[in-house]
Structure 1
Amino acid sequence: MGNDGHSPAPTVPEAPAEGPVPAPTRRVPRPLSPLREHLRDTFWFTPTLGLVGAVVGAVGVLAVDELFVRLLQEDGDYDTVASLIKIANDMRTIVSTAGSAMLTFVGVVFSISLVALQMASGQFTPRVVRLYVRSRITKCAFAVFLATFLFALLVQASYEGEDDPRKVTTVPVFSSIVCVLLVLVSLGLFIAYVNSTLRLMRVSHVIDRIIRESLRVLDKHARGGGTAPLPPAGPEIVHRGRAGVLRDVHIARLVRVARRHGVVLRLIPRIGDYVVPGTPVLAVHGAGKAPPARALRYTVSVGVERTFHQDIGFGLRQLSDIAQRALSPAVNDPTTAVQCLDRIVQFLAAVARRPLGALCHCDRAGAVRLVQDLPGWTDLVDLGLTEVRRCATGSPQVTRRLMAGLDDLWALAPEARREPLERHRALLAQAVTRAVPDAAEREFALVPDRQGIG
């Protein structure tokens, strides 16, 4: 990043027409929050932890086995040692079978999963693959599968050919029992994993996951709005990294940097925008010195696709994509589009009276140090409804549900926010008029119905 030019005048945040503008929300985000979200978007971290845990667990349990045998030998209880050797030899077959079969089992499960993902992404949207990658059940299942395989190999390698209770150094009894328990846990997780994968292929569960993630992000990143007038604008800090989608920013670090230099930073692009090297990403406001590029390293994260972490509009983007694909002539599934509209209306109803347009992040003293631009009400309404409305003119089930949704949102939204809803209602009526020549059919298609055709 570097300094260049001057920033435009800050925009006034959008707020509801009714009631006072709330004060900026005092938020001190967790420093590890971006790292945690980035790790959730990877598939390697949890299975790697499982392998490390398997090694540590195997070393620990085998040490317990060795200590237990040594204590018995010191007490002269060789009969118990002989019994343990017999038990361990009987369980050796189970451990050997688990070690040889578990890796093959993981490969078969993963192959089936790829086929299921291919079907789901082709039927709904390619972005549903993120749901699979972020699934805790999926990661835990593969972590336990691999951990069981590695644990079984380590236990199998600890078996000795010595059967004399006076000469044996270790008898892997407890470790064999743990291996059997891991096999049982793997079977239970396999059932949960299959259930989770089958749910991923059902559109109702997919859109439910999307809306739950969207509402979680909304509650986390759209609480409170409004901002005091910003100090005069100074230099802009340009992006020096690779090109990509702005996934998130390290809020806690930016707040600390701004406080240390006595300035207010304003994020110029929105989360989800595509940024290229040389474009401005941060504007510096105030009389303080602009932070150096070294202080701002790793504060802006770009990637190949949008994520839910700080992007309140990403859920609407996915729901709109699923609805459009459902309304395409190749799929022709208006019921799925109606289900997506249900959740789009739910999300818009949740933001109907929220202050939007900016999110202020404060330091521990309560001073605003970072201002982040959020999508406004009109932006969210257009994102959720425009493309679905343009594709829905030939399906009365969808147009009726859309009319009912517009009626509900019109009743919930403040008067100052009703204009985009009225615009979409007028555009929908015009599109149906052009597409449907029969007057009775047009009248039927524009009757509000929350079930589409109930």
Structure 2
Amino acid sequence: MRDNSVSFLGRTAWLLRQFRKQIWVRASLFSGAAVFVALLAAFVGPYLPYDPKLTLAAGSVDHILNILASSMLAVTTFSLSIMVAAYSAATSNVTPRSTKLLLADPVAQNTLATFVGSFLFSIVGVIGLAAGIYNGKGRIILFCATLIVLLVIVATLLRWIEQLGKFGRVGDTIRRVEQAALPAFRDAGRVPRLGAQPAVAIPGEACPIHAARCGVIVHIDAAKLDSIAEHHGLKVHIVAMPGTLVHPTRAVLQVFPSAEQQILDDLRDCVTVADDREYEQDPRFGIIVLSEIASRALSPAVNDPGTAIEVLGAGLRVLLAFADAFDDRDASALQNIHAPELDVPDLFMSFFNPISRDASNIVEVQIRLLAVLDALAERAPTLFKGPAATQIDHVVKRSLQSLTMTHERQMIQSRAR
């Protein structure tokens, strides 16, 4: 099993990774570091073993810090307004499911963190200078730290300017969703079923473990499940994979033989349920979000077939990556748990069916749809030929019903042969 993959992180490591994605975390760390540096100059200055022999003009550091404080406050406010506008644009023009990828963008988070941290650094420096806590050496240290902060601000601004040209745009969002979906598909191909054994018949005496709350499964710590099962001599059957809607009356695991309640609770804790789906262990979610982008583009209000064609290209790359990983798949490493296979026909239905439905009267999109399905069937006939044939049949039937021009219907029939 590829333990370095995000899909196979333990529950604690996965929760920590989700925590680090929060936009305020980086801003808090940068702000704390900035305040620490500003105060450190005051305490380290008297103990500096040598005199830097640098003479500063009266009020020079204070003047620079005042300029920095006022400008950083304005720039931070401006950057926040840009980010909010980008999130709103992604929600209305692309799909609301893509906004979490924009919120987790490292460039945007680093930019906001740098600006807020620089503002606090300058404010603390100005207050310290006014309070007289810096001696001559401390002022020189503060001046050098201010120069470093200015260099960091300039580098961040240049990177932010480059990012602004594409942040929140449709093409950039498609790329982000594709990049978020690729690891999940590669993991699903290389290590099927989260490393568990194939599903088998569940004994009638098995003990069901129900979800503790209503929501969607976002993470399963398969390695810990296997460890608990091995320690207690159990067989655990995963009956609800990540992305499944669960509630307190639906079983997520089946355990045979039955065990003590504490053991059952430990097994239940290996399954994380949340309100919103995540990409890491749920490949179907990524492909659904791509399909939603295409459906929004094909709506009468938008009427953008080019975006739908771009989405089909992204979906093709994701599914081809799944096929490549499947050819290089590992043997199942977890001997005490069983799980179902990824439902490839359902994947195809989730991705291709909405696009085929919404573009039934657009011949350019239908032709690209047929080309993508042909490519998948040729690349991995074992995985994709059957589901692709089903979707091709749906595309042809919808097109023949919706297209009004004879030559367009002939184009579809010719391409489908």
Give the TM-score of the pair, scaled to structure 1: 0.80
Does residue 54 of the first structure (1) align with residue 21 of the second (2)?
A: no
Which of 90, 94, 98 aligns to 1:128? It is 98
Q: Would the aligned equivalents of 2:207 and 2:258 in 1 still touch at CA under 8 Å?
A: no
Q: What CA distance in whole angstroms lies between the structure 2 residues aligned with 1:297 and 1:50?
A: 37
Q: CA deviation at 1:394?
A: 1.1
2:390 counterpart SS class: helix
Deviations 1:211-258 (A, max 9, x none): 2221122223432347367584620111223x2222112334333332
Which of 367, 387, 405 aligns to 1:400? It is 367
* Distance of aligned partners of 1:97 and 1:121 in 2 relative to their CA distance in 1, 3 Å threshold: same
1:199 counterpart SS class: coil
Does residue 95 of the first structure (1) align with residue 62 of the second (2)?
A: no
Structure 2 unaligned runs (5+)?
none
**Partner in structure 2 of residue 139 of structure 1:** 109
**Partner in structure 2 of residue 389 of structure 1:** 356
**Partner in structure 2 of residue 301 of structure 1:** 272
1:282 counterpart SS class: strand
Output the amino acid matched with 2:352: L
Number of aligned residue pairs: give it.
Answer: 406
Q: Would the aligned equivalents of 2:362 and 2:403 in 1 still touch at CA under 8 Å?
A: no
Q: CA deviation at 1:407?
A: 1.4
Deviations 1:286-325 (A, max 9, x none): 5765653553464332222211121111211111001011
Q: CA deviation at 1:273?
A: 1.7
Q: Would the aligned equivalents of 1:236 and 1:282 in 2 still touch at CA under 8 Å?
A: yes
Does residue 311 of the first structure (1) align with residue 282 of the second (2)?
A: yes
Which of 139, 144, 148 aligns to 2:118? It is 148
Output the amino acid matched with 2:158: I
Q: What CA distance in whole angstroms lies between the structure 1 residues aligned with 2:42 and 2:148?
A: 15
* Distance of aligned partners of 1:51 and 1:361 in 2 relative to their CA distance in 1, 3 Å threshold: farther
**Partner in structure 2 of residue 6 of structure 1:** none
1:236 counterpart SS class: strand
Q: CA deviation at 1:397?
A: 0.9
* Distance of aligned partners of 1:277 and 1:416 in 2 relative to their CA distance in 1, 3 Å threshold: closer
**Partner in structure 2 of residue 11 of structure 1:** none
Q: CA deviation at 1:336?
A: 0.5
Which of 147, 167, 178 aligns to 1:211? It is 178
Q: What CA distance in whole angstroms lies between the structure 1 residues aligned with 2:40 and 2:268?
A: 40
Does residue 236 of the first structure (1) align with residue 203 of the second (2)?
A: no
Which of 15, 18, 22 aligns to 1:35? It is 15
Does residue 440 of the first structure (1) align with residue 412 of the second (2)?
A: no
Higher relative contact order (CA 8 A, sep 6+): 1
**Percent of residue pairs identical:** 24
2:60 counterpart SS class: helix
* Distance of aligned partners of 1:344 and 1:160 in 2 relative to their CA distance in 1, 3 Å threshold: closer
Greater C-alpha Rg: 1
Map of 1:165-180 to 2, 5 A cutoff? 168=135, 171-180=138-147
Q: Would the aligned equivalents of 1:348 and 1:380 in 2 still touch at CA under 8 Å?
A: no
Output the amino acid matched with 2:256: H
* Distance of aligned partners of 1:205 and 1:41 in 2 relative to their CA distance in 1, 3 Å threshold: same
Deviations 1:354-382 (A, max 9, x none): 669x99974xxxx5234444532111111
Deviations 1:77-133 (A, max 9, x none): 7x94xx54x357322211122123322321121012211221232111112211211
Deviations 1:125-175 (A, max 9, x none): 112211211111111111111111111122222226779xxx957632212
Give the TM-score of the pair, scaled to structure 2: 0.86
* Distance of aligned partners of 1:169 and 1:350 in 2 relative to their CA distance in 1, 3 Å threshold: closer
Q: Would the aligned equivalents of 1:360 and 1:372 in 2 still touch at CA under 8 Å?
A: no
Structure 1 unaligned runs (5+)?
1-24, 450-454
Q: What CA distance in whole angstroms lies between the structure 1 residues aligned with 2:297 and 2:413?
A: 20
Q: What CA distance in whole angstroms lies between the structure 2 residues aligned with 1:229 and 1:433?
A: 40
Q: What CA distance in whole angstroms lies between the structure 2 residues aligned with 1:228 and 1:326?
A: 39
Q: What CA distance in whole angstroms lies between the structure 2 residues aligned with 1:96 and 1:285?
A: 68
**Partner in structure 2 of residue 187 of structure 1:** 154
Q: Which sits farther off after the overlay, 286-295 or 95-104? A: 286-295
Does residue 273 of the first structure (1) align with residue 240 of the second (2)?
A: no
Q: What CA distance in whole angstroms lies between the structure 2 residues aligned with 1:55 and 1:413?
A: 56
Q: What CA distance in whole angstroms lies between the structure 2 residues aligned with 1:54 and 1:372?
A: 49
Output the amino acid matched with 2:212: R
User: Which structure carries more helix by proportion?
Assistant: 2
Q: What CA distance in whole angstroms lies between the structure 1 residues aligned with 2:120 and 2:380?
A: 57
Q: CA deviation at 1:335?
A: 0.6
**Partner in structure 2 of residue 337 of structure 1:** 308
2:182 counterpart SS class: helix
Q: What CA distance in whole angstroms lies between the structure 2 residues aligned with 1:321 and 1:300?
A: 27
Q: Would the aligned equivalents of 2:191 and 2:332 in 1 still touch at CA under 8 Å?
A: no
Q: What CA distance in whole angstroms lies between the structure 2 residues aligned with 1:228 and 1:430?
A: 36
2:391 counterpart SS class: helix
Output the amino acid matched with 2:249: G
**Partner in structure 2 of residue 115 of structure 1:** 85
Deviations 1:248-277 (A, max 9, x none): 123343333323322232322121122222
**Partner in structure 2 of residue 105 of structure 1:** 75
* Distance of aligned partners of 1:378 and 1:90 in 2 relative to their CA distance in 1, 3 Å threshold: same
Q: What CA distance in whole angstroms lies between the structure 2 residues aligned with 1:201 and 1:423?
A: 35
Does residue 63 of the first structure (1) align with residue 43 of the second (2)?
A: yes
